[in-house]
């Protein structure tokens, strides 16, 4: 079942991370699981992309240039009129309590720490994919 699902085309995912290497790793992990992952390195471009393409799934780091990840989460989650089904997963290297608290207060639906196994990201995004559909 899971193997079959990984071969199928899954929901598009906007991946926002200014660390090129880590962004590439994330896109590769998601692509291997069947997601159509699109990378974006700057926050303002990510906001435009999410609004124009009516993104359903967004994966974002917390600290990125030109509109920080926390700002992206708060702005997009607050735009329920335009993006009622959007689900946001914060994928971050910042696992301290304060950053976790800020991400939750901004409205993210889930957080995955980059120190976790790659399968964790796919598992948790799969959970949100079910809600966004």
Partner 1 sequence: MSATADGRELLPAIGAQKRFTDADGIEWIVSERDARNVPGALGAQCLIFHSSEAVRRVWVYPASWRELLTPGLIALSWGR
The binding site for partner 1 (CB under 8 A) comprises: 73-75, 77-80, 95-98, 100-113, 115-117, 120, 124, 127, 131
Q: To the nearest whole angstrom, how small is the minimum distance from the Cβ of residue 56 to partner 1?
A: 14
Q: Write the CB contacts of 50 (distance below 8 Å, at least 6 apart in sequence).
A: 14, 58, 72, 76, 83, 86
Q: Which residue lies nearer to partner 1 by CB, 6 or 120?
A: 120
Q: To the nearest whole angstrom, how small is the minimum distance from the Cβ of residue 81 to partner 1?
A: 11
Q: Which residue lies nearer to partner 1 by CB, 20 or 78?
A: 78
Q: To the nearest whole angstrom, how small is the minimum distance from the Cβ of residue 6 to partner 1?
A: 19
Q: Which residue lies nearer to partner 1 by CB, 35 or 102?
A: 102
Q: Which residue lies nearer to partner 1 by CB, 10 or 87?
A: 87
> For tokens 């409205």, what's the residue?
107
Alpha-helix residue ranges (DSSP H) falling in the chain: 2-7, 20-32, 43-53, 69-77, 97-106, 118-132
How many helices (H) and strands (E) would you count in the chain? 6, 5
Quote the tokens at residue 130.
């079910």
Q: To the nearest whole angstrom, how small is the minimum distance from the Cβ of residue 128 to partner 1?
A: 9
């Amino acid at each position: 079942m899971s193997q079959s699902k990984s071969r199928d085309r899954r929901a598009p995912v906007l991946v926002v991370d200014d660390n090129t290497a880590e962004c590439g790793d994330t896109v590769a992990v998601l692509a291997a699981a069947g997601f159509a992952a699109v990378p974006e390195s700057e926050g303002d471009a990510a906001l435009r992309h999410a609004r124009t393409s009516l993104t359903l799934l967004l994966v974002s780091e917390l600290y990125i240039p030109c509109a920080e990840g926390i700002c992206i989460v708060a702005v997009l989650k607050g735009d329920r009129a335009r993006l009622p089904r959007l689900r946001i997963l914060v994928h971050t290297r910042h696992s301290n309590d304060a950053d976790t608290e800020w991400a939750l207060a901004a409205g993210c639906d889930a957080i995955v720490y980059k120190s976790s196994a790659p399968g964790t990201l796919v598992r948790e995004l799969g959970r949100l994919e079910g809600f966004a559909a």
